[in-house]
Amino acid sequence: MSKSFGSSLVYFTLPTIGFGYMYGLINLYLMIFATDFLAIAPATVGFIFGISRLWDAISDPLIGHLSDNTRTRFGRRRPWLVIAAVPLGFAFYMLFNPASGSEELITILWFGAAVILFYTASTLFYVPHFAIAAELTEDYHQRNIVFGCRHAGWLAGYVMSLGGIYSLTMLHSEGAEKVIDFAGKQATFIGSLTAISVLICAYGMREKPGFAERRSTSVLPVIKDVFKNMYARRILIVNFMDNVSFALTSTLVIYVCTYILNDANIASVFILFFMLPSLLLVPIWMPLARKFGKKNLYTFSMLLSGTAFGSLFFADYNNLAHLYIAGIMAGTANGCNNVIGPSIFSDIIDYDELQTGDRKEGAYFAVWSLVWKSSTAIVLFILGMVLSFVGFEPNVPQTDLVIDTMKFMFTLLPCMFYILAAFMFSFFKLNEETYNNIRTELDTNREATQL
């Protein structure tokens, strides 16, 4: 590993810590914060996230295309990180700082604007940042290190967010005012730190030369290229099911602990059991990928996740040991998914270059981002509608119908998605030998072009 690669990796990883913290609060706490403390109906929360995904369907591919075709003396990705920094921090502040003394409609409009601004700003950061990851190295196995560092930084922030969530759940019994006040202060601090870390990343990181000359075409043909790519189609579908399952479990865990286990604080312990193996086992996926192959590891991880959450449907919820063991199993699988999945996707971008002659990491990871964010939004939209339909009422004991619905969507539904995803990915054909052949042909073509 060269010195320049190592330093770029440090700068690249830095903002993922704050990003992980923000998404920890959003994925695990934002919905219950909105329904139980801002008094926004679950269906309304779901509708807001649905609207934000319609905008993402436009903004994500657009930012990916613009990122691919930006030409400045600072690079094509780094200027976008600078643009994203302040809006990202401010939007996170808005999410947990409702307009004071506002009426219900103003609260809803403020929250809706915050959601849309946050996801727009996260696209401005996430797509160029992910594209840089694919450009840092073209080595089949070294890419696992890049995405391993990214996942480790993200998870470090996510784990730290559990302290913030635990502090918030401890305040639940003291009323909405205390919860909102603490959440607002926390969001202000974390949003500011994350914005600063993004600027440091943009300042210190250097983009690898040579990629910028390989321009992509106009935006619509580029997106068509992504979906025409047989390898990309399969992994995007699989990744969508993986993210839907994760969104279901991460959103519902606090509801399950609050209304089924009658102790919201258990959620932080469960998530800790989930996140620690996901973080601590990151280094093992690199040698295991060399030994067993990326495809086999990715498939295994989804089967392990399905087994973990499926078993919870039959669990005795008075026995927390089963809950924590399932968390360890699912967390182990999650770490593998988030290291190996995007590494495979980077390999697919090289295959696309061989087929089309263009280099478009931004467009590809824009679609990857859209799949990730859309899966979360679809889950929140459907979950909000379903909870309203079955009669969920915040801060009161729930009916058997509500309890059974929560349990099914927390356990069996993600289990089915994970098993289906593993089955689909078992037919994936891009292995190390195929990739090395692609690299050899690409290098030959590049040398011929330079003559």
Cβ atoms of 128 and 67 closer than 8 Å:
yes
Cβ atoms of 425 and 238 closer than 8 Å:
yes
Q: Of 79, 427, 57, which is closest to residue 230 (Cα–Cα)?
A: 427
Q: Of 186, 73, 187, 77, which is closest to residue 126 (Cα–Cα)?
A: 77
Neighbours of 41 (CB within 10 A): 17
Q: In whole angstroms, give the CA distance from residue 372 to residue 369.
A: 5
Q: In whole angstroms, give the CA distance from residue 43 to residue 98.
A: 19
Cβ atoms of 333 and 304 closer than 8 Å:
yes
Look up residue 294 and give its two tokens: 């990326």
Q: Of 167, 404, 400, which is closest to residue 264 (Cα–Cα)?
A: 167
Position 183: which residue type?
A
Helix (H, G, I), strand (E, B), or coil: what is residue 418? helix
Q: What is the pLDDT along the chain (451 residues), one digit of tens a residue?
A: 566 677 888 898 999 999 999 988 988 888 889 988 998 888 888 888 878 877 877 777 778 778 877 777 777 888 999 999 999 999 999 999 988 666 888 889 999 999 999 989 998 998 888 888 777 777 777 888 888 888 889 889 988 998 898 899 889 888 888 999 999 999 999 999 999 999 999 888 877 665 555 555 555 556 777 778 889 899 999 999 999 998 899 889 888 888 988 888 888 888 889 988 988 888 898 899 889 999 999 999 999 999 999 998 887 777 788 889 999 999 999 889 888 988 898 889 888 888 887 777 777 888 887 787 778 778 878 888 898 899 988 888 889 999 999 999 999 999 999 999 999 999 998 888 888 898 888 888 777 665 5
> What pLDDT does residue 445 have?
76
> What pLDDT does residue 295 have?
92
Q: Dihedrals φ, ψ of 284, to 5°?
A: -75, -20
Q: In whole angstroms, give the CA distance from residue 37 to residue 351.
A: 49
Q: In whole angstroms, give the CA distance from residue 301 to residue 336.
A: 6
> What pLDDT does residue 219 have?
53
> What pLDDT does residue 186 have?
95
Distances (CA, A) of 92 to 63, 78, 85, 103, 257: 20, 21, 11, 21, 25
Q: Dihedrals φ, ψ of 261, to 5°?
A: -90, -10
DSSP type of residue 211: S
Count of residues in the chain? 451
> What pLDDT does residue 43 have?
84
pTM (predicted TM-score): 0.75
Q: Does domain 8-206+216-446 bear CATH number 1.20.1250.20?
A: yes
Cβ atoms of 168 and 179 closer than 8 Å:
yes
Q: In whole angstroms, give the CA distance from residue 50 to residue 52.
A: 5
Cβ atoms of 154 and 282 closer than 8 Å:
no
**What number of CA atoms fall less than 13 Å from residue 294's CA on the CB side?**
28
**What are the extents of the domains in the chain?**
8-206+216-446
Q: Which residues contact 417 (CB under 8 A, 6 or more apart)?
A: 241, 242, 244, 245, 306
Q: In whole angstroms, give the CA distance from residue 132 to residue 72.
A: 15
Distances (CA, A) of 345 to 57, 298, 328, 396, 418: 20, 12, 26, 45, 19
> What pLDDT does residue 236 have?
92
